[in-house]
């Protein structure tokens, strides 16, 4: 096939393009530049104006039309033509421009002066008059008031203003009414009433401002987010007499605002100016940035307020009440923000600030932080904030070398980690690792396939985050890490500070989470607790916690271990008589929990002699306890009678049935000869002041029958010992069952002993006539008198004799 020929024009264009790229093409503009360089313009010397004067200029000027002349003047001034841009015309042009400006300013001043002298009027239409010839229109000329004129001029602008500007105008319109008052002359003396009135007025003014800004922000947070900065400005205002009140008002207002407008996600922005965003996205990011900035400023101010509760080294001055109030308010605000939005930004910073207040000397701050942490542990579904709190508590205990208050460790017992099993998790990790190794040996993936799987995993992770779904595997990992840190705290206290005040709370926590401990640590832990109890340096509560911890361990996975708990039976039996009453009832509750775990839960592993010994001592200590604890102990005795027939031997009055003599002072339940004992305490309990105690004692004496005359109410028999303890607890000043009101009996005069006829008549008259009660009695001349409240008629007879006694010498 023949090749097509290129046209002439195409060849010319190709040649021109080639020359242009090489820079060899000489265009027309290049030629003009070269010509100018070769032939530079000749410089014409300016002639003297004085020598060339002529009258032709005036003649020419008179021939030009006025409009053309004005046009040329304007052209000269503004420099519209290139011919006027020469340097010789610059000075003249400036002079002309100046003259024109002066004339224009002079005209404007004259116009304004005339306008001020002559009042402006407007025509207002009136109702027309109807006549035979037709309608007669009427008008009236009125002077325009300056305010009305301004309103007319600004009418269009007001319609175009946003809601934020309208609020600001409303705020400014009331500025005169709600303006801060200041004393005119500070040199003159001012009374207290004037100062208080001025302060009250200023407080009301600031309340109005804060309420206006807060309500506007809650109505439209996206458009009025800058109100946060205005509220913080009010917070920072320095006024000696209003400073504390303003800080409190702004703190509480912003707290409620942030609790309401903070989003349910964490704000994460990347400042990339090159990326183009939609209008809605850009507005949303602007709102989030402003919100985060205001939130950060609010937290910084709260931190300064909370720092007022801390004392510097060497500062022995007592804290003032305003400082304490502001500090407590800041701590409360921190806790409420953490509780309401624990997922939001700066939550870890809030935890770092709040955790040291668990060990603070201020009781209100300490209780506020403790209660908020308990609520967070109960409501946290992700586990992130819980892990952060436990880490900070671990750092606090470690930094202060265990010299902290018990509340720091006690709050950890409220963690929700009952479902965590470290052994099971460890086994699952090992199995997973084995499967992955086996899979890698069977399947050899290429690099491309590995990258693809990695990208898929990242996308799935992002999808889980955007859907805000709870990842069970991640939560389980966080709970596992929390449990490890928790037991690190507990074991460090047992090892390094066994004699500190934290031991009781540590043992209580170990007893609650004993099922989560690795089996490898069981034997060492039991040995350590036995050594602590044998030293004799622990208190009753700490010893009971040790016993409870050991038996919780042995009731779970520790049953497979070869551990002898006989020593702990002896420790429990010995401490039963050391539990006090009244304010020491908490130890009674702990003892009940231990007995419920040991005597009832492990009854099949106890020998008969131990069961009889514990039952006998339960009946003994119930005599010296309050009625709710006595009911709980007797309920345990009743349960033992129903669950084990060998306990019936304690109901026999004949003591010759057993071997030997019962030794209640012996601290070993195995060798105290409880088989020869009898629970005679039931005879005393049958005369108890509480009716339910009497009923239960009678139920036990008759062999604890399920039905019949001596059976108890089913509503009570179904309750456990712990439920009975709470049901009959008198701490709320409520007696169950209610005490009946005694019947009222009328007093007759016949019941008075006849000591003296005169006294008998006086008593009967007092009953019938209702004589006022005597105020006081006195003895004058061996006669006893009493003073009455009498009328004015009986003023002479003030003292009435009652009993006359003769002196016996």
Per mean pLDDT, which range of 542-551, 585-594, 738-747 is the poorest? 738-747
> Is pLDDT at 799 greater than 90 in this prediction?
no
The string of DSSP codes covering 443-482 is ----HHHHHHHHHHHHHHHHHHHHTT---HHHHHHHHHHH
Q: How confident is the model at residue 806 (pLDDT cuts 50, 70, 90)?
A: very low
Q: How confident is the model at residue 577 (pLDDT cuts 50, 70, 90)?
A: confident
The string of DSSP codes covering 686-719 is TT-SSHHHHHHHHHHHTT--SSSTTPPPHHHHTS
Which residue, 130, 129, 150, 151, is CA-closest to 138? 129
Highest mean pLDDT among 6-10, 129-133, 283-287, 293-297: 293-297
Asked if 659 and 676 touch (Cβ cutoff 8 Å), the reply is: yes
HSE of 81, CA atoms in CB hemisphere, 13 A: 9
Q: In what order do the strands lie in the sheet with 777-780?
A: 777-780, 783-787, 799-804
Which residue, 233, 262, 277, is CA-closest to 341? 262
Question: Mean pLDDT score of the chain, rounded to an integer?
Answer: 76
> Is pLDDT at 82 greater than 50 in this prediction?
no
Asked if 509 and 412 touch (Cβ cutoff 8 Å), the reply is: yes
**Mean local confidence (pLDDT), 26-41:** 54
Highest mean pLDDT among 196-200, 328-332, 442-446, 560-564: 328-332
Residue carrying the six token digits 């007025």: 201
Per mean pLDDT, which range of 13-27, 337-351, 395-409, 672-686 is the poorest? 13-27
CA dist 650 and 543 (Å) reads 29
Residue 772 region by backbone torsions, left for phi larger than 0, else alpha for psi between -120 and 50, else beta: beta
The string of DSSP codes covering 138-186 is EEEEEEPPHHHHHHHHTHHHHHH--HHHHHHHHHHHTTTTT-----S-S
The Cβ of residue 471 has, within 10 Å, a number of other Cβ atoms equal to 13
The Cα-based distances of 349 to 322, 343, 345, 372 in angstroms read 25, 12, 9, 16
What does the chain come to in residues?
Answer: 809
CA dist 569 and 481 (Å) reads 35
The strand pairing partners of 785, in sequence order, are: 778, 801
The string of DSSP codes covering 371-413 is HHHHHHHHH-SS-HHHHHHHHHHHHHHHHTTT-S-HHHHHGGG
Mind listing the pLDDT tens digit for each residue in 465-508? 554 445 667 777 888 888 889 989 998 998 888 878 888 888 88
Classify 2 as helix, strand or coil: coil
Helices 522-535, 566-575: crossing angle, 10 deg rounding: 40
Radius of gyration of the CA atoms of the chain, in A = 50
HSE of 680, CA atoms in CB hemisphere, 13 A: 6
Helices 522-535, 540-555: crossing angle, 10 deg rounding: 160
First to last CA, the chain: 171
Asked if 492 and 486 touch (Cβ cutoff 8 Å), the reply is: no
Which residue, 613, 603, 591, 622, is CA-closest to 722? 591
For CA atoms 208, 212, 213, 214, the dihedral sign is: positive
Which pair of tokens denotes residue 21? Answer: 């790229």
Q: How confident is the model at residue 795 (pLDDT cuts 50, 70, 90)?
A: very low
Helix (H) / strand (E) containing 802: strand 799-804
**Which residues contact residue 45 at a Cβ distance below 8 angstroms, ignoring those fewer than 6 apart?**
none
HSE of 294, CA atoms in CB hemisphere, 13 A: 27
The Cβ of residue 259 has, within 10 Å, a number of other Cβ atoms equal to 14
Residue 108 exposed, middle or buried by CB count within 10 Å (0-12, 13-18, 19+): exposed
> Is pLDDT at 49 greater than 70 in this prediction?
no
The Cβ of residue 611 has, within 10 Å, a number of other Cβ atoms equal to 20
Which runs of consecutive H residues, i.e. helices, occur in 161-278?
A: 163-173, 192-219, 227-236, 243-261
The Cβ of residue 284 has, within 10 Å, a number of other Cβ atoms equal to 13
> Is pLDDT at 782 greater than 50 in this prediction?
no
Residue that wins the pLDDT comparison between 5 and 750: 5
CA dist 120 and 198 (Å) reads 44
Which pair of tokens denotes residue 380? Answer: 């946290």
As a whole-number percent, the residues of the chain with pLDDT over 70 amount to 69
Which pair of tokens denotes residue 515? Answer: 């099922």
The pTM (predicted TM-score) of the whole model is 0.62
Which pair of tokens denotes residue 395? Answer: 């750092």
Asked if 493 and 529 touch (Cβ cutoff 8 Å), the reply is: no
Angle formed at CA 216 by CA 211 and CA 217, multiple of 5 degrees: 100
Mind listing the pLDDT tens digit for each residue in 622-665? 988 888 888 999 999 998 888 888 888 888 877 666 677 888 88
Helix (H) / strand (E) containing 340: helix 321-340
Q: What is the largest CA-CA distance in the chain?
A: 172
CA dist 401 and 497 (Å) reads 9
Helices 503-512, 540-555: crossing angle, 10 deg rounding: 20
Torsion of Cα atoms, 763 then 767 then 771 then 776, to 10°: 50
Strand intervals (E) in 413-537: none
Q: What are phi and psi of 763, to 5 degrees?
A: -70, -45
CA dist 297 and 230 (Å) reads 12
Which pair of tokens denotes residue 252? Answer: 């509480």
Helix (H) / strand (E) containing 568: helix 566-575
Helix (H) / strand (E) containing 125: strand 121-130
Q: How confident is the model at residue 9 (pLDDT cuts 50, 70, 90)?
A: confident
Q: Is the bond into 737 cis (omega within 30 degrees of 0)? A: yes
For CA atoms 25, 30, 31, 35, the dihedral sign is: negative
Asked if 711 and 705 touch (Cβ cutoff 8 Å), the reply is: yes
The Cα-based distances of 11 to 14, 27, 76, 484 in angstroms read 5, 19, 51, 84
Q: How confident is the model at residue 126 (pLDDT cuts 50, 70, 90)?
A: confident
């Amino acid at each position: 096939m023949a090749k097509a020929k290129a046209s002439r024009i195409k060849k010319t264009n190709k040649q021109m393009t080639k020359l242009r790229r090489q820079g060899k093409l000489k265009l027309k503009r290049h030629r003009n530049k070269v010509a100018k360089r070769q032939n530079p313009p000749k410089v014409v010397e300016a002639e003297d104006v004085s020598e060339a004067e002529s009258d032709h200029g005036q003649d020419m000027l008179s021939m030009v039309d006025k409009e053309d002349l004005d046009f040329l003047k304007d052209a000269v001034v503004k420099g519209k033509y290139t011919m006027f841009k020469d340097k010789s015309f610059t000075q003249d042009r400036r002079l002309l421009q100046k003259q024109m400006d002066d004339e224009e300013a002079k005209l404007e001043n004259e116009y304004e002066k005339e306008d001020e002298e002559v009042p402006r009027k407007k025509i207002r239409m009136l109702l027309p008059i109807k006549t035979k010839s037709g309608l007669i229109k009427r008008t009236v000329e009125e002077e325009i008031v300056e305010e009305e004129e301004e309103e007319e001029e600004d009418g269009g602008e007001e319609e175009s203003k946003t809601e934020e500007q309208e609020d600001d105008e409303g705020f400014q319109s009331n500025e005169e009414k709600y303006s801060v008052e200041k004393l005119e002359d500070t040199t003159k003396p001012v009374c207290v009433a004037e100062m208080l009135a001025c302060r009250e007025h200023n407080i009301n003014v600031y309340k109005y401002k804060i309420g206006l800004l807060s309500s506007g922000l809650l109505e439209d947070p996206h458009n009025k987010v800058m109100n946060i900065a205005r509220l913080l400005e009010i917070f920072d205002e320095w006024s000696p007499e209003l400073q504390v009140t303003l800080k409190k008002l702004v703190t509480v207002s912003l707290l409620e605002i942030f609790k309401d407008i903070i989003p349910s996600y964490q704000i994460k922005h990347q400042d990339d100016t090159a990326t183009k965003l939609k209008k809605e996205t850009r507005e949303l990011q602007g709102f989030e940035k402003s919100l985060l900035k205001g939130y950060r400023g609010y937290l910084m101010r709260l931190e300064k307020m909370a720092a007022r509760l801390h004392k510097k080294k060497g500062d022995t001055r007592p804290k003032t009440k305003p400082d304490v109030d502001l500090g407590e308010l800041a701590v409360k605000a921190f806790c409420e923000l953490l509780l309401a939005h624990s997922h939001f930004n700066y939550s870890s910073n809030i935890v770092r600030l709040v955790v040291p207040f668990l060990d603070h000397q201020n009781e209100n701050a300490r209780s506020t932080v403790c209660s908020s942490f308990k609520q967070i542990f109960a409501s946290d579904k992700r586990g992130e904030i819980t892990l952060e709190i436990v880490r900070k508590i671990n750092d606090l205990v470690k930094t202060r070398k265990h010299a902290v208050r018990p509340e720091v460790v006690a709050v950890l017992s409220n963690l929700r980690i009952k479902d965590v099993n470290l052994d099971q998790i460890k086994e699952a990790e090992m199995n997973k690792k084995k499967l992955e190794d086996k899979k890698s040996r069977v399947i050899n993936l290429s690099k491309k396939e590995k990258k693809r799987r990695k990208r898929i995993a990242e996308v799935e992770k992002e999808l889980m985050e955007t859907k805000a779904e709870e990842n069970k595997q991640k939560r389980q990992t966080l709970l596992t890490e929390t449990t490890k840190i928790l037991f690190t705290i507990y074991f460090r206290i047992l090892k390094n500070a066994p004699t500190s005040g934290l031991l009781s709370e540590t043992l209580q926590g170990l007893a609650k989470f004993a099922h989560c401990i690795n089996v490898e640590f069981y034997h060492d832990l039991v040995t350590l607790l036995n050594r602590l109890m044998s030293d004799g340096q622990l208190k009753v509560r700490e010893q009971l916690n040790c016993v409870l911890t050991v038996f919780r361990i042995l009731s779970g996975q520790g049953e497979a271990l070869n551990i002898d708990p006989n020593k702990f039976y002896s420790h429990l039996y010995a401490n039963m008589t050391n539990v006090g009453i009244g304010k020491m009832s908490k130890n009674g509750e702990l003892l009940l929990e231990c007995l419920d775990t040991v005597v009832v839960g492990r009854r099949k592993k106890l020998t008969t002699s131990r069961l009889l010994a514990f039952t006998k001592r339960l009946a003994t200590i119930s005599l010296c306890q309050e009625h709710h604890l006595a009911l709980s102990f007797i309920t345990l005795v009743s349960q033992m009678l129903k669950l084990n027939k060998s306990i019936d031997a304690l109901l026999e009055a004949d003591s010759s049935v057993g071997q030997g003599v019962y030794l209640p002072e012996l601290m070993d339940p195995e060798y105290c000869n409880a088989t020869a004992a009898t629970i005679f305490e039931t005879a005393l309990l049958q005369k108890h002041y509480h009716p339910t105690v009497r009923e239960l004692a009678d139920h036990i004496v008759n062999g604890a029958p399920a039905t019949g005359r001596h059976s108890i109410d089913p509503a009570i028999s179904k309750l456990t010992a712990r439920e009975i303890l709470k049901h009959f607890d008198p701490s709320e000043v409520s007696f169950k069952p209610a005490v009946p009101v005694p019947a009222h009996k009328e007093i007759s005069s016949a019941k008075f002993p006849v000591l003296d006829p005169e006294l008998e008549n006086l008593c009967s008259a007092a009953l019938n006539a209702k004589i006022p009660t005597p105020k006081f009695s006195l003895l004058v001349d061996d006669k006893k008198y009493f003073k009455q409240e009498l009328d004015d008629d009986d003023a002479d007879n003030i003292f009435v004799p009652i009993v006359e006694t003769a002196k016996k010498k």
